[in-house]
Structure 1
């Protein structure tokens, strides 16, 4: 429905009259998330807003008083004076007091926000083009978190999928970050290629992820739930497809999740011992969607002029050793996955096997983790 300016003002006035419920989808202020840091930021924000309101009332009050009471019709002969010492002292002292009144609480808030001491657990966050890697050092768990397959397919031209039908389009991932509530968590944030920025609005802060440098931040989530964010730094062509999903659960649920992840890790190792085409294809499909689909597309068609197609490609159907070398050493815009300690030999073997036997590339080759280890 198209409305002109007058009609839009009329609608806004009606919404204002019918009450707060009508404004449920309109956010005119910063949100207050389920964390102490977000409340600290919001409280200082509102304090500063009211200071500004007070200044505006005084300044505009004096201005309108002067306009009304010192207009030409009332005082045809203007007063002639200058250099009022008392006035100059007053309008110097008052701004200084205002600045002090803002500086003290803002400094206190910044100190509290940046204080990561006393953390109960650490999570290392590493930004890649265009996914996140999460590592729990104490638990021994690490995984990549990438744009979910439904969003990844819908974003591609010619997919035939209406993005409106995809839940949380471009704001969902295949593997969310799982954390316990009521636990002070320290995030150690860095990047492996270019500058990224880890940002979840509900937490009240964002931190740059800079290659070769580690930024620290903390959060203590008070309510279970799903909290979504995105990379807030222009990190490259697929910057818009790098979401963040944090799943906050109770401490009991978190411990159960940790046990489940360790069981999966053990199961993956066992599966590697009984390596065959079926095992490699199942594992390779997931690894491909995590590490490769954003560039080479989910169907292996690639992006003309940017990323080559893998379907029917000589790279994927000819010499298997040459393909292993490309995956390990990288080529062009493709990173060297062999130098990434967070991608296992089993995952690399699986994804190479998958590519050589998917998209019509029916080579029958089965690459094993031992083949990758020997080629490193």
Structure 2
């Protein structure tokens, strides 16, 4: 019996250690903006708003992890130490006022501690002041339209032809042959780094949602409404996302690709997308002056008689 109990305790202990390792593993996976295979935790992202969301998430995760370890640890200990085979008898009691006050006050305090920084971060995520440029995002079935307000540059972005061909042909995509299957577009949204960018987001037909995980937020695109958000990308690169609101039969085929460039490179790109000014028309030739008519000839005078 003692050997059996020791085996059960060893199994329980190993299970708790495995749980702790599983909770700690996401910390290593979250160091990069790019998703990793079998990644369980969210990433840090490449913007200030993304890091704020990550930090709030980790605080909540660790609070829940600690509570879980305490609660399930106490349950495991009680099940093992006070089992019926050892002669344990269930306690008989109605209530304990002090215990009830304690397990009410402690959760309230935990919620206040968690809500205070989360609220401050949420307010900061909607602070659009001092934005340096504005991009209008409009959702369509099933593509996105981007407009650089004040720059006379706009274009649509939809699923790239290769992904569209593969999905309709019945081929089985592979990572080697299609590394960005259903996550590539024909026209990327190009943005500068180290620039506070304001987004105004709407829709022309049904509800969509513009979501790029590395940028740290998701915003609904609702017809008839304009939602706002902002970002400040700190690292050049290519970041991918998707429509995150079920919007019809091709909902899964309207990806988002953001390419972040250094400021000077972005300026050159933006200048290349602007319409070229029309060449001035050649001046019209002046009409030729009409030829002057010769004065009528004087008829000959009859000779005097």
Could you tell me the TM-score, scaled by structure 1's length? 0.61
Q: CA deviation at 1:184?
A: 0.8
Query: Matches of 2:172 and 2:103 in 1, distance apart?
Result: 60
Query: Matches of 2:86 and 2:141 in 1, distance apart?
Result: 69
Q: Which has more helix, going by share of residues?
A: 1
Match of 1:266 in 2: 276
SS in 1 for 2:267: helix
Unaligned runs of 5+ in 1: 1-12, 274-376
Q: CA deviation at 1:83?
A: 2.8
100-109 or 124-133: which moved more?
100-109
Q: CA deviation at 1:232?
A: 1.2
Query: Matches of 1:166 and 1:58 in 2, distance apart?
Result: 46
Match of 2:248 in 1: 236
Q: CA deviation at 1:74?
A: 5.2
Q: CA deviation at 1:76?
A: 5.1
Check if 1:208 corresponds to 2:223: no
SS in 2 for 1:199: strand
**CA shift in 2, pair 1:260/1:60, >3 Å:** same
**CA shift in 2, pair 1:79/1:136, >3 Å:** closer
Q: CA deviation at 1:68?
A: 4.2
Q: In the TM superposition, what are the counterparts of 1:216-255 in structure 2 within 5 Å? A: 216-255=228-267
SS in 1 for 2:266: helix
**CA shift in 2, pair 1:84/1:257, >3 Å:** same
Aligned equivalent of 1:169, options 181, 186, 191: 181
Unaligned runs of 5+ in 2: 1-17, 30-34, 282-305
Computing the radius of gyration from Cα coordinates, the structure with the larger value is: 2
Match of 2:160 in 1: 148
Q: In the TM superposition, what are the counterparts of 1:97-112 in structure 2 within 5 Å? A: 97-112=109-124
Aligned equivalent of 2:64, options 52, 62, 79: 52
Q: In the TM superposition, what are the counterparts of 1:304-343 in structure 2 within 5 Å? A: none
Query: Matches of 1:190 and 1:41 in 2, distance apart?
Result: 23
Matched residues, number: 249
Q: What RMSD, in angstroms, separates the aligned Cα atoms of the two structures?
A: 2.7
Check if 1:128 corresponds to 2:147: no
**CA shift in 2, pair 1:64/1:135, >3 Å:** same
Check if 1:183 corresponds to 2:195: yes
123-132 or 164-173: which moved more?
164-173
Check if 1:257 corresponds to 2:298: no
Could you tell me the TM-score, scaled by structure 2's length? 0.74
SS in 1 for 2:114: helix
Match of 1:192 in 2: 204
Deviations 1:232-269 (A, max 9, x none): 1121122222111111000000111111112xx227x6
Higher relative contact order (CA 8 A, sep 6+): 2
